[in-house]
Amino acid sequence: MANILINNTAAPELSKFSDLETLIHQITLQKNSDDKYIAEVKVNGGAIDLLVEHLTERLNDTDTVSFKLLTSLELAFEVIDSTHKYIECIMSKVDEVVLNCSKGNLEEVNLCFTEVIELIDIFTQLITKTIATFKEADLIEREIQNEIHEIESQLLMILKGLLTAKELNNVSMLCDLLQYELIDNLTRWKIQIFSKIKSKHGQNL
């Protein structure tokens, strides 16, 4: 039977389950009532992507499966950290768009622009869920709520402008919106919102 760890604590009662899919289902049933959710799964030290891995494969007796469980609030703080990675990734892609614009490489501009939009979509989904969790926990003061509303509205206007520039094939407008407006907006999320929330509640970025 595989060795099962929950937050670094042995859980021998779960060793009877022979595949990840069944194991994950069982843990989900047990922990959701405690407001705990699976944040990470590792098999023999390697992280598992729950969206693409073959979860029905049998576990070996020598396998060690570790689960990291967090409350919804703990998970929200972890999401803030992951959004910083998305911000850096978006900024990197913006640099690629601007560079290819300067070279007149429109094919690469289109490819990079598509990736930017996809990353922004993921980013907005993450922050929407995270902010909702913080609001439910009453961790966001009115001043910060007002700032969030302003920055969200600004991001929406930027996205509309980007799509318009793309439809018009206005490369100059596209690059300006990405390089100045979008970068400024993402920086405001990082500094004005996420840093304030974490510093207020004793967590460092």
CA-CA distance, 51 to 155, in Å (whole number)?
Answer: 29
pLDDT at residue 78 in the model: 85
pLDDT at residue 51 in the model: 61
pLDDT at residue 196 in the model: 83
In this prediction the pTM is 0.74
> Which residues, other chains included, contact 187 with Cβ-Cβ below 8 Å and sequence gap of 6+?
none
CA-CA distance, 87 to 186, in Å (whole number)?
Answer: 6
pLDDT at residue 95 in the model: 94
| 109 touches 100 (CB < 8 A) | yes
CA-CA distance, 133 to 139, in Å (whole number)?
Answer: 9
pLDDT at residue 202 in the model: 63
pLDDT in tens, the chain (205 residues): 789 999 999 999 998 888 888 998 888 887 655 678 888 899 999 988 776 656 777 888 889 999 999 998 888 888 887 788 888 989 999 999 999 988 889 899 889 999 999 889 888 988 898 999 888 888 888 888 999 999 999 999 999 999 999 999 898 899 999 999 999 999 999 888 988 887 776 654 4
pLDDT at residue 97 in the model: 92
Residue ranges per structural domain of the chain: 3-71, 74-200
CATH architecture label of 3-71: Roll (3.10)
Secondary structure of residue 25 in the 3-state scheme: helix
What is the enclosing helix (H) or strand (E) of 2?
none
Which pairs with CB-CB distance under 8 Å and at least 24 residues apart come from 90-93?
A: 90/116, 90/119, 90/120, 90/123, 90/182, 90/186, 91/183, 91/186, 93/119
Give 54's DSSP letter.
Answer: -
pLDDT at residue 204 in the model: 46
